[in-house]
Amino acid sequence: MTEFKPLVFSGVQPTGNLHLGNYLGAIRKFVALQENNDCIYCVVDLHALTAQLVHEDMTTQIRSITAAFLAAGIDPKKHIVFNQSQVPQHAELAWIFNCVARIGWMNRMTQFKDKAGKDREQASLGLYAYPSLMAADILVYRATHVPVGEDQKQHLELARDIAMKFNLDFREKIMPTGLGVDITVGEEPVHAYFPMVEPLIDGPAPRVMSLKDGTKKMSKSDPSDLSRINLMDDQEAISKKIRKAKTDPDALPSEAEGLKGRPEADNLVGIFAALADRSKADVLAEFGGQQFSVFKPALIDLAVEVLAPINAEMRRLMEDPAHIDAVLRDGGERARARAEKTMNEVRDIIGFVR
């Protein structure tokens, strides 16, 4: 083997309503990537236990994320769509990665610090180990490319560190199996069992910001519903939220440079560009010099045009939970077969008897 086979993997947590940030930062990219790649998309239900253990509506949430995947255009027959808990190999590899990762690495994770808040002693051990399970999600398929929003960048760097330490620590054991791939890291040749994952973060909206504050990320946990557009919002709600979105008094600039220091304008232009599959420069070439009173109605029309069909299809799918469950079961079965192959190789590399 000379190269890792390209494989796309990503996951979304079944917690709260999906919003435009999840759609533009992740799901829209999932759809585009399936054209030319083998893809695995996962509803990460085990991760959903990390911040809150008991979820009244866990089952509905899992189905709702799955419905969003399908409604957005992911093909579960050509690719794999499943929920994480159906493939116990994720948790098994995460345990091994817990023994690879160093506490110092975990202590640097900004998302843990944010989510744990002031009372860190009360955070769950799962929340602390969250990035280790995330690395296992990806590497249990030896996936190479991971489409995510910018907030996940640090977690993917950790996944690379974990992969590299495993490759180096088990170097002598990987070599004779011939299961690895020769790569160079810096100057050093390494016979790697796990690939160095490539984050796919680029695009005009890698970090969609709150509609109420252009310096804060659009988030499920923001107490103000006006701060985000939910995928389940109807036309009226989308229109109201964009009309009420914070802006500044100036006209739009003609070039992207002019968005510097104007976070709300930058955010709305980025959203427009991502929804229209255009660059920010291209959008500004059209709207430069125009006021928000002209730009916002155009953005409303575009957002409704893109989101309304997804919204309608999600509602239709949610009326047939048996179909959604069947999709997940079928995906789970195929994912399990692939993950078990990796785990058998990992068990052999470590030297477990099987």
Among 8, 74, 139, 148, binds ligand TYM (CB under 6 A): 148
Active site residue 212: no
How many whole angstroms separate alpha carbon 321 and alpha carbon 208? 30
- Give the nearest distance from C-beta 347 to ligand TYM in angstroms: 22
- Give the nearest distance from C-beta 288 to ligand TYM in angstroms: 25
Q: Looking at the DSSP assignment, which residues form a beta bridge with residue 83?
A: 43
Q: Looking at the DSSP assignment, which residues form a beta bridge with residue 209?
A: 217
Binding part of the chain for ligand TYM, among 133-141, 242-250, 283-291, 332-340 by CB under 6 A, reads 133-141
Among 62, 68, 96, 218, binds ligand TYM (CB under 6 A): 218
Q: Are 77 and 69 in contact (CB under 8 A)?
A: no
Q: Which residue out of 29, 217, 241, 296 is catalytically annotated?
A: 217
By CB under 6 A, what part of segment 30-49 binds ligand TYM?
44, 47
Active site residue 153: no
- Give the nearest distance from C-beta 177 to ligand TYM in angstroms: 26
> Tokens 């399936």 map to which residue?
34
Question: Rule CB under 6 A: is residue 335 a binding residue for ligand TYM?
Answer: no
Among 83, 109, 137, 192, binds ligand TYM (CB under 6 A): 137
Q: Give the number of residues in contact with ligand TYM, rule: CB under 6 A.
A: 24
Q: Are 305 and 299 in contact (CB under 8 A)?
A: no
Question: Rule CB under 6 A: is residue 200 a binding residue for ligand TYM?
Answer: no
Closest CA to 263 of 207, 203, 202, 200: 207
The single-letter DSSP state of residue 47 is G
Q: Which residue out of 165, 220, 240, 246 is catalytically annotated?
A: 220
* For ligand TYM, the closer CB: 72 or 174: 72
Question: Rule CB under 6 A: is residue 89 a binding residue for ligand TYM?
Answer: no
How many whole angstroms separate alpha carbon 75 and alpha carbon 30? 10
Sequence-distant (6+) residues with CB within 8 A of 236 are: none
Closest CA to 125 of 142, 103, 141, 143: 103
What's the token pair of residue 248?
């500044």
* For ligand TYM, the closer CB: 67 or 148: 148
Question: Rule CB under 6 A: is residue 152 a binding residue for ligand TYM?
Answer: yes
Active site residue 217: yes
* For ligand TYM, the closer CB: 26 or 71: 26
List C-alpha distances in Å: 134 to 104, 109, 163, 327.
17, 13, 12, 22
Q: Are 140 and 339 in contact (CB under 8 A)?
A: yes
How many whole angstroms separate alpha carbon 96 and alpha carbon 98? 5
List C-alpha distances in Å: 282 to 109, 177, 204, 296.
36, 52, 11, 17
- Give the nearest distance from C-beta 173 to ligand TYM in angstroms: 26
- Give the nearest distance from C-beta 11 to ligand TYM in angstroms: 3
* For ligand TYM, the closer CB: 117 or 176: 117
* For ligand TYM, the closer CB: 18 or 181: 18
- Give the nearest distance from C-beta 271 to ligand TYM in angstroms: 10
- How does DSSP assign 277-327, residue by residue? T--HHHHHHHHTT--HHHHHHHHHHHHHHHHHHHHHHHHHHHT-HHHHHHH
Question: Rule CB under 6 A: is residue 10 a binding residue for ligand TYM?
Answer: yes
Among 21, 76, 253, 332, binds ligand TYM (CB under 6 A): 21
Question: Rule CB under 6 A: is residue 109 a binding residue for ligand TYM?
Answer: no
Q: How far is CA 265 from the centre of its chain?
A: 25
Inter-axis angle of helices 58-72 and 292-318, nearest 10: 120
Return the active site residues.
115, 217, 220
Query: Which residues contribute to the site for ligand TYM (CB under 6 A)?
Result: 9-13, 21-22, 25-26, 44, 47, 134, 137-138, 146, 148-149, 151-152, 155, 207-208, 217-218
